[in-house]
Chains A and B, each alone.
Chain A
Amino acid sequence: MGKRELICIGCPMGCPVTVEMNGDEIVSVSGNTCPRGDAYARKEVTNPTRIVTSTVKVEGSCVEMVSVKTKEDIPKDKIFDCVRALKGLTVKAPVRIGDVILADAAGTGVDVVATRNAWPSCHKEAECQQAVDGS
């Protein structure tokens, strides 16, 4: 019988939770002080998922990078595949919050979307130029 030790992230308490496993089957969850701890532990040992955030280069804008995220959480073991798929990617301005930057990232079925705007030249042109000049 296997054991998994976790720290619950549901609240600042941070309960140490122990999950006893029989193969893929959960036998018991202990150490949690509330139902949220139980639910967190069960999800974490069967199907842990995360939202992944990163950045990609943008061309033709006064900003160099556009921040991005997976639109939904993806399996934890796909994090590095997802980041690798974004590596070397360059997008062209304009980019708006929510634009799809990479469809179906690393075969997860989840799109990577932009989390900031990047205008071709900032809507305030004079100021944008200053930024390009490096002032």
Chain B
Amino acid sequence: MKTYDIVIIGGGPAGLAAAVSAKRSGTDSILILERDKELGGILNQCIHNGFGLHTFREELTGPEYAGRFIEQVEELQIEYKLHTMVMDISSDKIVTAMNSTDGLFEIKAGAVILAMGCRERSRGALNIPGYRPAGIFSAGTAQRLVNMEGCLPGRKVVILGSGDIGLIMARRMTLEGAQVQVVAELMPYSGGLKRNIVQCLDDYAIPLKLSHTVVEIRGKERVEGITLAQVDETGRPIPGTEEEYECDTLLLSVGLIPENELSSGMGVALSRVTSGPVVNESLETNIEGVFACGNVLHVHDLVDFVSEEAAAAGRNAARYVQSTDDASRGGGPLVEIRAVDGVRYTVPSGINVERMEDMQTVRFRVGGVYKNCFVSVYLDEERIQHRKRPVMAPGEMESIKLKKEELLKYPDLKVITVKLEEG
């Protein structure tokens, strides 16, 4: 059986940044396993610009952003296998994978970095009545068809869900000659970035209907039309508000789900809020030496934050395989981070103060739209941070920073609480 110090599952933005960072931290034996025909993951189909403002201080397209990291992986001579599907990871870190040249094979890993990303929520999760005609696509599938395979999946389009991929595809389909009639959003606010609403919808006079959903899909062989209805505060359609639209295509941009079948198969504990692994300050799961980063851990809004988080996972995995004493490897007491009062979750959800880096980023999302609220951090009962934010929304990832020297002043610290407080 072949052995590598670090095996990285997935060659998208998270896997690439983790690999580069692990290598730069002094670990040479690294293998990336990727199921697609090239590295780069979802970035390859995100041809629009707006990536990399934080990382490279310039606006890049998705393929360009991926290209910067792929270049580093090549320069650092990090090994990778394409067309390779990981079938199973055992709790003692034996990775079983297959491809058409090596067949089925096993690799013993010193540490594993989970970087499998996420997948789109599909029609099945939505309970929309009707037949199952052709013409219903997730927005990301349509994006791949248009941008990578050069096919236009339809000409008359309705989009359900105003997440960023849905908004981006409204513009993309319009530029390719399709007629995008409307974008409907169940919530009273859009889940996408303001910039995308202006530049993808307003620029092309595509209406956005908030508090609306699809209540019927018509057509047996191919989509022939859909019915939209307004919903009340509880999300239920209001009778009498139905509007019919003729269309041949329905795109769904209704959320992303971290892809954690491999993680749960090996016994990694998952969070019920994020559907991603529960991790400590090192982004290490409940299984020692198994780390997670990127969208498999929690869904991100900006790839820059994925790269930053994955770099930390790479450093920590390298430290894990290089260290000989148990204390720096893993385990030890954890201070719990509690997310309450509008904060839905935090990543990480626990910190080993001895092991943390000098500055620890804690990322989180809020549960609604909040204006002029304060983000507060409590060490047990004492408030140490109280920062005003003009506006926060579920679509945008938030973060706080914790200083190691500050936490070390509280040797009996039990709980760190992150919450929102009114002004």
Q: A96-135, CB under 8 A of B: which get 1 and which 0?
A: 0100000000000000000111000010101110110001
Contacts known (A115-B61, A130-B100); A57 close to B150, Cβ less than 8 A = yes
Report the stretch among B157-165, B253-261, B389-397 that lies at the interface: B389-397
Report the minimal beta-carbon distance from A129 to chain B, rounded to whole angstroms.
10
Contacts known (A50-B199, A83-B175, A135-B83); A55 close to B146, Cβ less than 8 A = yes
**Which residues of B (186-201) have their CB < 8 Å from a CB of A?**
193-195, 197-199
**Which residues of A (2-26) have their CB < 8 Å from a CB of B?**
6-9, 11-14
Say whether B63 faces chain A, with CB atoms less than 8 Å apart. yes
Say whether B127 faces chain A, with CB atoms less than 8 Å apart. no
Interface centre among A122, A127, A135 (most CB of B within 10 A): A127
- Partner of A50 from B38, B61, B64, B203 at Cβ < 8 Å: B203
- Partner of B37 from A7, A69, A76, A131 at Cβ < 8 Å: A131
Q: Which chain B residue has the least Cβ–Cβ distance from A6? A: B198
Q: How far is the CA of A63 from the CA of B37 in the complex (A)?
A: 10
Q: A65-94, CB under 8 A of B: which get 1 and which 0?
A: 101110000001001100100000000000
* Residues B149 and A65 in contact, CB atoms below 8 Å apart: yes
Report the minimal beta-carbon distance from B186 to chain A, rounded to whole angstroms.
20
Kindly list chain A residues whose C-beta atoms are within 8 Å of the C-beta of B67: 97, 116-117
Contacts known (A9-B194, A116-B67); A55 close to B147, Cβ less than 8 A = yes
Kindly list chain A residues whose C-beta atoms are within 8 Å of the C-beta of B202: 7
Report the minimal beta-carbon distance from A112 to chain B, rounded to whole angstroms.
12
Q: Which chain B residue has the least Cβ–Cβ distance from A98? A: B64
* Residues A55 and B64 in contact, CB atoms below 8 Å apart: no
* Residues B64 and A97 in contact, CB atoms below 8 Å apart: yes
Q: How far is the CA of A51 from the CA of B67 in the complex (A)?
A: 19
Kindly list chain B residues whose C-beta atoms are within 8 Å of the C-beta of A127: 37, 82-83
* Residues B150 and A64 in contact, CB atoms below 8 Å apart: yes
Kindly list chain B residues whose C-beta atoms are within 8 Å of the C-beta of A124: 82
Q: How far is the CA of A122 from the CA of B83 in the complex (A)?
A: 13
**Which residues of B (30-78) have their CB < 8 Å from a CB of A?**
37-38, 44, 47-49, 59-64, 67
Kindly list chain B residues whose C-beta atoms are within 8 Å of the C-beta of A52: 175
* Residues A67 and B150 in contact, CB atoms below 8 Å apart: no
Q: How far is the CA of A76 from the CA of B62 in the complex (A)?
A: 22
Report the minimal beta-carbon distance from A130 to chain B, rounded to whole angstroms.
6
Report the minimal beta-carbon distance from B71 to chain A, rounded to whole angstroms.
9
- Partner of A115 from B63, B148, B203 at Cβ < 8 Å: B63
Kindly list chain A residues whose C-beta atoms are within 8 Å of the C-beta of B60: 115
Q: Which chain A residue has the least Cβ–Cβ distance from B195? A: A9
- Partner of B44 from A54, A80, A116 at Cβ < 8 Å: A116
Kindly list chain B residues whose C-beta atoms are within 8 Å of the C-beta of A54: 47, 175
Say whether B234 faces chain A, with CB atoms less than 8 Å apart. no
* Residues B37 and A67 in contact, CB atoms below 8 Å apart: no
Q: Which chain A residue has the least Cβ–Cβ distance from B66? A: A116
Say whether B101 faces chain A, with CB atoms less than 8 Å apart. yes
Contacts known (A69-B61, A130-B83); A51 close to B198, Cβ less than 8 A = no
Q: Which chain B residue has the least Cβ–Cβ distance from A116? A: B63
* Residues A51 and B150 in contact, CB atoms below 8 Å apart: no
Q: How far is the CA of A57 from the CA of B44 in the complex (A)?
A: 15
* Residues B175 and A62 in contact, CB atoms below 8 Å apart: no
Kindly list chain B residues whose C-beta atoms are within 8 Å of the C-beta of A135: 83, 100
Report the minimal beta-carbon distance from B30 to chain A, rounded to whole angstroms.
17
Kindly list chain A residues whose C-beta atoms are within 8 Å of the C-beta of B391: 12-13
Contacts known (A50-B203, A55-B150); A12 close to B393, Cβ less than 8 A = yes
Kindly list chain A residues whose C-beta atoms are within 8 Å of the C-beta of B193: 12
Interface centre among A11, A14, A135 (most CB of B within 10 A): A14
Q: B88-112, CB under 8 A of A: which get 1 and which 0?
A: 0000000000001100000000000
* Residues A65 and B396 in contact, CB atoms below 8 Å apart: no
> Chain B: residues with CB nearer than 8 A to chain A?
37-38, 44, 47-49, 59-64, 67, 82-83, 100-101, 146-150, 175, 193-195, 197-199, 202-203, 390-393, 396
Supplied contacts A69-B61, A131-B83, 13 more A-B pairs, CB within 8 Å:
A7-B197, A7-B198, A9-B194, A11-B194, A12-B391, A13-B390, A14-B197, A50-B199, A64-B150, A65-B149, A67-B147, A80-B175, A83-B175
16 contacts between A and B (CB under 8 A): A7-B194, A7-B198, A51-B59, A55-B148, A62-B37, A63-B38, A63-B148, A67-B63, A79-B203, A97-B63, A97-B64, A97-B67, A117-B67, A124-B82, A128-B37, A130-B83
